[in-house]
Amino acid sequence: MTAPVIGRGEARALDEEDELAAFRGRFVIDEAAPLYFDGNSLGRLPRSTPARLLQVVEEEWGRGLVGSWSFWMDRPRVVGDFLAEHLLGAGAGEVVVGDSTTVNFYKLVVAALEARPDRRVIVTDETNFPSDRYVLQGLAEQRGLELRLTTGDPGPAEIAAAVAGGDVALVTLSHVSFHSGAMLDLPAITAAAHAGRALILWDLSHAVGAVPVRLEEDGVDLAVGCAYKYLNGGPGAPAFTYVRRGLQEQLRQPIWGWFGAADQFAMGPNYRPAPGIDRFSVGTPPIVGLASVEEGAAMVAEAGVDRVRRKSLDLTDLAIGLFDEWLAPLGAELVTPRAIERRGSHLSFRHPDAWPICRALIENHRVVPDFREPDVLRFGFAPLYTRFVDAWDAIDRLREVLARREYEAFSSERSRVT
* Interface with a copy of itself in residues 45-74 (CB under 8 A): 45, 49-50, 53-54, 57-58, 60-63, 65-69, 72-73
**Which of the following is catalytic: 203, 278, 353, 390?**
203
Per-residue x/- marks for a copy of itself, 327-366, CB under 8 A? ----------------------------------------
Q: How far apart are the first and last CA of the chain?
A: 32
**Which of the following is catalytic: 27, 106, 228, 388?**
228
Count H helices, E strands: the chain? 13, 13
Q: Are 105 and 135 in contact (CB under 8 A)?
A: yes
Q: How far apart are CA 216 and CA 111, in angstroms?
A: 20
Residues 131-170 that bind a copy of itself (CB under 8 A): 131, 133-135, 137-138, 142
Nearer to a copy of itself, 19 or 256 (CB): 256
Residues 268-287 that bind a copy of itself (CB under 8 A): 268-271, 282-287
Is 228 a known active-site residue? yes
Nearest to 254 by CA among 241, 266, 267: 241
Shortest Å, Cβ 114 to a copy of itself: 8
In our burial notation (b when 16+ CB lie closer than 10 A, e otherwise), range 310-326 reads ebbbbbbbbbbbbbbbb
State the amino acid at position 305 in one-letter form.
V
CA atoms within 13 A on the CB side of 75: 22
Nearer to a copy of itself, 303 or 376 (CB): 376
Could you tell me how many residues of this chain bind a copy of itself (CB under 8 A)? 86
**Which of the following is catalytic: 129, 230, 379, 410?**
129
Nearer to a copy of itself, 44 or 399 (CB): 44
Q: Which of 292, 312, 345, 348 binds a copy of itself (CB under 8 A)?
A: 292
Q: Are 94 and 246 in contact (CB under 8 A)?
A: no
Spacing of C-alpha 85 from chain mean position: 17
Q: How far apart are CA 311 and CA 159, in angstroms?
A: 31
In 74-221, where do the E strands start and end? 95-97, 121-125, 146-150, 168-174, 199-203
Residue 31 is a binding residue for a copy of itself (CB under 8 A): no
Q: Which of 16, 17, 25, 30 binds a copy of itself (CB under 8 A)?
A: 30
Q: Which residues contact 17 (CB under 8 A, 6 or more apart)?
A: none
Nearer to a copy of itself, 5 or 73 (CB): 73
Strand partners, 146: 121
Shortest Å, Cβ 3 to a copy of itself: 27
Is 404 a known active-site residue? no
Residue 173 is a binding residue for a copy of itself (CB under 8 A): no
Q: Which residues contact 312 (CB under 8 A, 6 or more apart)?
A: 210, 211, 345, 381, 383
Is 385 a known active-site residue? no
What is the per-residue DSSP string for 171-186?
A: EEEESB-TTT-BBP-H
Is 203 a known active-site residue? yes
Q: Which of 91, 155, 219, 257 binds a copy of itself (CB under 8 A)?
A: 257
Residues 196-235 that bind a copy of itself (CB under 8 A): 226, 228, 234-235
Residues 94-113 that bind a copy of itself (CB under 8 A): 98-103, 106
**Helix (H/G/I), strand (E/B), else coil: 415:** coil
Residue 372 is a binding residue for a copy of itself (CB under 8 A): yes
Is 252 a known active-site residue? no
Residues 111-130 that bind a copy of itself (CB under 8 A): 114, 126, 129-130
Residue 255 is a binding residue for a copy of itself (CB under 8 A): yes
> Of 39-47, 85-93, 157-165, 311-319, which part binds a copy of itself (CB under 8 A)?
39-47
Residues marked as catalytic: 129, 203, 228-229, 378
